[in-house]
Amino acid sequence: MGATEARAQAFRMAEAAGLDAVTIDAHGFRLQAMHRGLANARAVNVYIEGDGRAWSSPHRPARDPTPREPIALELAARDRSAAVLYLARPCQYQDAASLAACDRKYWTTHRYAPEVIDAMDAAIDIALRRAGSDGARVPLGLVGYSGGGAVAALLAARRPQARWLVTVGGNLDHRAWTGAHGVTPLPASLNAAEIAPALRELPQLHLIGGRDRVVPRAVAESYLQRAGDAAKTTVIEIPDYDHQCCWVERWPELACAALSSAGAAFTPCR
């Protein structure tokens, strides 16, 4: 599937789920967002997409990082909560002109750079403000898939209204991740593992596939070691799952019991 078809398919999926597609300009990035129910929202579940198609070969960046399998969007589409906001990552789902203006470093070496996290953080506020809601007051739940798990954790650390964090195959320590794969480190990117201690009191669920070769369990374990004693953190490994399969099919029920036991109001379960 090419990037053009992937974009079209994603927009059809969003429309079928009642999600309105909008673009948000934040800190020099044009971000694709999809949402519903943000007006006067009492709580919002925010879904952060994965890294997408970062590389076309081991030594060649992809020409377009738009994900062929937008797992976070599929999770958002299944969320039955009243208010849902999906955010793609920088440079994903862009038209030719916007993509040409987007530096490839933002889907390779700088994928979790400070300016990227600033833009994603601002995009949440912009989306809520457009809908007439106060981003500084509305409680947020954060869900991140793959590299979006790193972004979600970094956002949770800077947003006092974050109520819970869920990652699915999350890249929670990019140093452990690049080390496990023997690939070039990401020194320009922030590392979620470094802020793990700040999230000890936040209810968290980290879902891991036993057959995941993209983000192996060791990455989550490295994050947990940095977090120390985090009583509200749950890790669930499903032996037969890999990086893509089969999270969508069991969402959101998969997360309900774990977050409820940690004292979090996981709104898809209500």
Query: 99 with 64: CB under 8 angstroms?
Result: yes
242 burial level (CB within 10 Å; 0-12, 13-18, 19+): middle
Output the pTM of the full model: 0.95
Q: How many C-beta neighbours within 10 Å does residue 42 have? A: 12
First to last CA, the chain: 36
CA atoms within 13 A on the CB side of 141: 29
Q: Is the pLDDT of residue 82 over 60?
A: yes
Q: Is the pLDDT of residue 70 over 80?
A: yes
Query: 123 with 26: CB under 8 angstroms?
Result: yes
Lowest mean pLDDT of 22-26, 114-118, 136-140, name the range: 136-140
Amino acid at 137: R
Q: Which residues contact 157 (CB under 8 A, 6 or more apart)?
A: 195, 198, 199
Amino acid at 251: W
Query: 150 with 171: CB under 8 angstroms?
Result: yes
Q: How confident is the model over 30-46, as pLDDT tens digits? A: 999 999 999 989 899 99
Q: What mean pLDDT, rounded, does the chain reach? A: 91
Q: Is the pLDDT of residue 3 over 70?
A: yes
Q: How confident is the model over 44-55, as pLDDT tens digits? A: 999 999 999 988
Q: Is the pLDDT of residue 20 over 80?
A: yes
Alpha-carbon span 153 to 26, nearest angstrom: 19
Share of the chain above pLDDT 90, in %: 78
Query: 31 with 87: CB under 8 angstroms?
Result: yes
Lowest mean pLDDT of 200-204, 235-239, 264-268, name the range: 264-268
Q: Which residues contact 259 (CB under 8 A, 6 or more apart)?
A: 164, 166, 203, 205, 234, 266, 269
3 state DSSP class of 112: coil
Q: What is the pLDDT of residue 114?
A: 98
Q: What is the pLDDT of residue 134?
A: 77
- How do beta strands 140-145 and 44-48 pair? parallel
Q: Is the pLDDT of residue 26 over 70?
A: yes
User: In sequence order, which ranges of the chain are alpha helices (DSSP H)?
Assistant: 3-16, 71-78, 96-100, 114-130, 147-158, 174-181, 217-227, 253-261
With cut-offs at 50, 70 and 90, classify the pLDDT of residue 269.
Answer: low
Give me the domains of the chain, ranges plus CATH numbers. Answer: 3-269 (3.40.50.1820)
| Cα-based angle 178, 254, 52 (whole degrees, multiple of 5) | 35
